[in-house]
Structure 1
């Protein structure tokens, strides 16, 4: 992962602003950037926008043999794609950098080890066939705090996803199409979400939801994966700093409030999407884009400011005359030089 050059003046300016309890984008210390969630036309597709950081997540499923250690449980697989389209710092060719590996493992711990999805309900035939749920997070734009954006996008896509219905007769398994039977939602026990805290001046100052520039100057960060029931699903600290236990408790109390707010946003978006689908209203990405027809014969009524228009016209004429006189003087000077 190649770092973009960052000047010392800009670094000092950001740190001084943080010490004065202010941020470059005008947010408070504990404020998130604007978060917007949009679902696609297909089930299990959603796009999460956290400020200028954009992540699109697609959930898919297929029938596979189970793991030998867990023959009666399905499989949940999480993958994060970092392409150079999102940021020039990401390596091309699909090679996973240290940042990508860290992000992928953190999401796996938050989603898989917290047992948010009931994997036993994904079993079709014990020891033979189970559902494998794949969560692919594609980073479209990187402007800091990808962990929170990816975790919210992944859990929203899992809650929005529907798998095909299955009937078992003896050893024969029949997967029904969407026309034959309605798809079945996944059994989700809780919604674990990540909240990132950035620390500065050896842990003396902290921020929630750091932007890309704030991430470049921070001493370290702490990611808390939590659900709205105050259950900590994962916790990770990185950087060269020392954090006291009081600081950890303070961050966990802040994370409870932020996780509750994000969970409500996801649930409201899911309800609005299901309501639009049931009523036959526009839904998905096309409904989120404001369409506007523009024709060649369209006329717009514009308000023209006529106050002092005569004075402005005289000023424009005077400027034009002065410019003409200057041109004439320059021509005369050129002629004199040529004659000399």
Structure 2
């Protein structure tokens, strides 16, 4: 299996020496993210997220299907990730690497298992028909911290998505096209985000937020904290590496909460801007005119 070129000994020593002097290669502070950009597509449910040089595209789709036998009152919600060779020489098609498996599991636990979306609202006919919502995550460029960028893209795509409206008359289910009825948003309960810390030093005493790829290659451990703006923790994933003191982990969690609130505010702003862009003299303008009269 192809492998990514590892940093040389001189590169490792240079980065570690800079960190001991409170310096990062890109000049950021230890608890700062790279510039975050979010662009929505022309279709509902398409989110393009750029975090520094890391770029992730998430696309949401929905179709009517049969619910699982053991959950007849719930819809189906799945997340699929794809890391292609275009992203990095270390990735191959149809051969999931450890990075891809961990990325998929972290996003799955953060978004799906935390109950961010009300899956019961996806049920159309109990035990017979339901919506199957799927989010495909495509990594277009990898320069570190895939988890945070991918999680943000998934949440943004789901909140931006609109599914066709439906009605039930006489036992017959009717799915309306966007021309017939305005599509409806998903039933969303809370917005969880991932915040990943990287640790350096012999005892992991140096903690960096949003590590770049060059910084990730020499870290001695990492920890991903998933939570929402209300401070509710969805998961804390410390997958091996050097042990970290409990006090340091609490400090990281407090900083993570601040970052999650910033993410949530940023996403709300982008969603409002997109809604305003799409509503050119439409329903909102009609309602405001009605109020003026």
TM-score bucket of the superposed structures, by smaller chain: over 0.9
**RMSD, aligned CA:** 1.2
SS at match of 2:167: strand
Q: Which residue of 2 aligns with 1:205?
A: 206
User: How far is the alpha carbon of 1:58 from its aligned partner?
Assistant: 0.3
Q: Does residue 242 of the first structure (1) align with residue 243 of the second (2)?
A: yes
In the TM superposition, structure 1's runs of 4+ consecutive aligned residues that sit over 6 Å from their partners are: none
SS at match of 2:217: helix
TM-score (norm 1): 0.81
Q: Does residue 253 of the first structure (1) align with residue 262 of the second (2)?
A: no
CA–CA distance in structure 2, aligned partners of residues 234 and 174 of structure 1: 39
Instruction: Check whether the contact 1:38–1:46 (CA below 8 A) recurs between aligned residues.
Output: yes
SS at match of 2:27: coil
SS at match of 1:55: strand
Instruction: Check whether the contact 2:4–2:88 (CA below 8 A) recurs between aligned residues.
Output: no
CA–CA distance in structure 2, aligned partners of residues 143 and 3 of structure 1: 12
TM-score (norm 2): 0.93
Instruction: Check whether the contact 2:15–2:25 (CA below 8 A) recurs between aligned residues.
Output: yes
Cα 1:87–1:186, aligned 2, differ >3 Å: closer, same or farther? same
Cα 1:212–1:280, aligned 2, differ >3 Å: closer, same or farther? farther
CA–CA distance in structure 2, aligned partners of residues 127 and 144 of structure 1: 43
Cα displacement string for residues 49-72 of structure 1 (whole angstroms, at most 9, x for unaligned residues): 000000011000011111122111
SS at match of 2:30: coil
SS at match of 1:26: coil
CA–CA distance in structure 1, aligned partners of residues 239 and 9 of structure 2: 23
Cα displacement string for residues 53-97 of structure 1 (whole angstroms, at most 9, x for unaligned residues): 000110000111111221111111001110011111212x23211
User: How far is the alpha carbon of 1:6 from its aligned partner?
Assistant: 1.5
Q: Which residue of 1 aligns with 2:289?
A: none
SS at match of 1:78: strand
User: How far is the alpha carbon of 1:183 from its aligned partner?
Assistant: 0.2
Q: Which residue of 2 aligns with 1:106?
A: 106
Instruction: Check whether the contact 2:6–2:217 (CA below 8 A) recurs between aligned residues.
Output: no
Describe how 1:186-335 pairs up with structure 2 within 5 A. 186-201=186-201, 202-279=203-280
CA–CA distance in structure 2, aligned partners of residues 109 and 203 of structure 1: 25
> Which structure would you say has the larger Rg?
1
User: How far is the alpha carbon of 1:172 from its aligned partner?
Assistant: 1.4
CA–CA distance in structure 2, aligned partners of residues 246 and 67 of structure 1: 43
Aligned length: 280
CA–CA distance in structure 2, aligned partners of residues 280 and 189 of structure 1: 30
Instruction: Check whether the contact 1:219–1:239 (CA below 8 A) recurs between aligned residues.
Output: no
Cα displacement string for residues 227-285 of structure 1 (whole angstroms, at most 9, x for unaligned residues): 0000001110123211121111111101000001111111100000000111269xxxx
Unaligned runs of 5+ in 2: 283-293
CA–CA distance in structure 1, aligned partners of residues 189 and 6 of structure 2: 44
CA–CA distance in structure 2, aligned partners of residues 84 and 112 of structure 1: 27
Instruction: Check whether the contact 2:222–2:241 (CA below 8 A) recurs between aligned residues.
Output: no
Unaligned runs of 5+ in 1: 282-340
